[in-house]
Structure 1
Amino acid sequence: MQKQLTAILAALCMMWAAGCGAQTSDQQTAPQQPSAKPAETTLMVSAAASLTDALNELKTAFEREHPGVAISYNFGSSGKLASQIEQGAPADVFLSASKQDMDRLEEKQLIVTDTRVDFAKNELVLISSASSPLALSSFEELGDDAVKHLAVGEPTTVPAGRYAKETLEHLKMWDNLSDKLVFASDVRQVLTYVESGNAEAGIVYASDAAISPKVKVIAAAEPEWHNPIDYPAAVIAASRQADTARMFLAFVTSDKGKAIFKQYGFHE
């Protein structure tokens, strides 16, 4: 009987050992799990607020063609964005609404000079709320008593405000309208003031007026009333992703990029 128990135990031990061996073999030959998806490259783009809608669409198109790259925007007035870059804020590309702010960075060697390119132009327009009863038809009529608040960008930091000031100074109206002026932190805030009725009129880019059904264009400024409204772009000198930044700028200036900007009221 004892011999039978010993034989049975021996057989069980052999079966257990065989099972462990098979399990070890299975573990050794199991296929490896696929490696994790490589981390995306995030490109930091500081851009003028007036470019918001066009650049959001351009982001979708660019990322579709470059799945390993994600675009992150920092929108604001060009003057403030330039100041942020001067102070060391992270940025790979700067898209400005004025040459003046880009010139500041170039003079301080904060951009890669050979990447600088003008990629779009704009126009300056006078707007009011779409439901406004104002009977204005020109900039020259802004002195009318019906206009109690005129929204413009802050001239020292907002290019649209700078162009607005140049226009009104050309018409010899800036000083006379000083009591009516409502200053905004960027051109999109000017648009909001007029849309909400907090200002009877405002001066924005044609591209801003084009994207809002809540405003109407009263008049367009003559080109000779202000400096040319050109949009320059450049790679930031401190960028650690200069090649990717150049690739993004190439897309901005490509036929696809130009078509997107044109769709949102910009022109070449």
Structure 2
Amino acid sequence: MKKSFKTSQIITIGIVCGLLLLATLFAGCTSSAPAQPVTHAESTTAVPATTVPGLQSTPQAISTTAAPGVLATTSTPEPVYTYSEGNVIAYTAASLKGVSSKLAEGFSKMYPGHKITFNLDGTQALTTQIENGAYADVFISASPKYTTELTKGGYFQAGTVSTLTTNYVIVILPADNPANIRTLADLAKPGVKIARAAKTVPVGIATDAALANLAKSTYGQAWNNSVNTNTVTYETSEPAVATKVALGEVDAGFVYESTATAAKPGTYVSVTIPKNDNYLQVYSIAVLKESTSKGAAADFENFMLSGAGQQILKDYGFRSA
């Protein structure tokens, strides 16, 4: 009886141990495994652009790398801005100052939306500026000398150099004519003060040529020498000569006929130079090779050479090309 009980006890302990082992195994099978990443299809979400108050946003070249299986996209590159096609910068001989506003008006009328900006100065100064890298779309010269210089330098668009207009030299006097100048001979009288343009300025070149012709044909070299002696200032532009006369700082000045025509009535009185002795200065126009508005520049040249442009020049004392 004791042996049977002992056997029974051993069986019971074995069963308990077995149950404990099974419980342990079952718990191991149901315990949590380390978390594994769950793979989902990747997506992209557009991020709104940040706008700084007061600034206009512009397209930027932004490259986006997409997840596998998603098409990569690139935004439109930022454009490169240049001078507006409708805007023209014209380096223009100073003697066109009086007619420039009318030319601008006529150009805008013929080509609505276009705009012309004149940089007015002595042709010799404008030539130097262009040679030194100044930007211009169009060049209007009052002397073939400087047109030829820039042509040889390769500054003009091929086939765009054209004769624009012509101009004669005239002598203007203050309205009250304090020196009582009546004829060209009076310019040599002692004490007369004369203003001329420098010898490098187109109207200065024309003045020297006209004086030489007058000396040879009519007045003699002594007269020419006296006129040179009476010249008290050599200006860098034709309008500067006209200003000296208008202010009464000199008794006479050599300018273009167009300046006398464009002046307000009563500003000057004038003494003409005979055509046979005068010097006809030739103006030209051309488009610069470096222009970034060649279409609009060509339109402006076409306007200047058109009947409308030529009529405006004629109304202001310029002559036909």
| Same fold by TM-score greater than 0.5 | yes
Moved more, 51-60 or 80-89: 51-60
Q: Does 1:165 align with 2:216?
A: no
Question: Given the two structures, how large is their TM-score scaled by the length of structure 1?
Answer: 0.79
- State the alpha-carbon separation in 1 of the partners of residues 289 and 114 from structure 2: 20
CA contact (8 A) 2:166 2:282 kept: yes
Tell me the equivalent position of 2:308.
256
Moved more, 201-210 or 53-62: 53-62
CA contact (8 A) 1:165 1:174 kept: no
Q: How does 1:175-186 map to 2 (within 5 A)?
A: 175-181=225-231, 182-186=233-237
Moved more, 50-59 or 62-71: 62-71
One-letter code aligned to 2:210:
T
CA contact (8 A) 2:168 2:279 kept: no
* Percentage of matched positions with identical amino acids: 28
One-letter code aligned to 1:42:
N
Q: Does 1:92 align with 2:137?
A: yes
Q: Does 1:155 align with 2:165?
A: no
Tell me the equivalent position of 1:245.
297
One-letter code aligned to 2:286:
A
- State the alpha-carbon separation in 2 of the partners of residues 74 and 101 from structure 1: 16
Please state whether the residue corresponding to 1:177 is helix, strand or coil.
helix
The structure-2 alpha-carbon separation of the partners of 1:174 and 1:86, relative to structure 1 and needing over 3 Å to count, comes to farther
One-letter code aligned to 1:221:
I
Q: Does 1:215 align with 2:282?
A: no
- State the alpha-carbon separation in 1 of the partners of residues 190 and 225 from structure 2: 16
Q: Segments of 4+ in structure 1 off by > 6 A?
A: none
- State the alpha-carbon separation in 1 of the partners of residues 161 and 85 from structure 2: 26
CA contact (8 A) 2:188 2:230 kept: no
One-letter code aligned to 1:76:
D
Please state whether the residue corresponding to 2:295 is helix, strand or coil.
helix
Tell me the equivalent position of 2:249.
198
Offset at residue 62 of structure 1 (A): 1.3
| Residue-by-residue CA offset, 1:185-225 (whole Å, 9 max, x unaligned) | 2110100100111010000001101122311112x223443
Please state whether the residue corresponding to 1:95 is helix, strand or coil.
strand
Please state whether the residue corresponding to 1:265 is helix, strand or coil.
coil
RMSD: 1.8
- State the alpha-carbon separation in 2 of the partners of residues 114 and 47 from structure 1: 19
Q: Does 1:130 align with 2:188?
A: no
Offset at residue 111 of structure 1 (A): 1.2
Q: Does 1:56 align with 2:101?
A: yes
Tell me the equivalent position of 2:5.
none
User: For structure 2, which runs of at least 5 residues remain unmatched after alignment?
Assistant: 1-83, 216-220
Question: Given the two structures, how large is their TM-score scaled by the length of structure 2?
Answer: 0.67
- State the alpha-carbon separation in 2 of the partners of residues 197 and 133 from structure 1: 9
Q: How does 1:106-121 map to 2 (within 5 A)?
A: 106-121=151-166
One-letter code aligned to 1:110:
Y
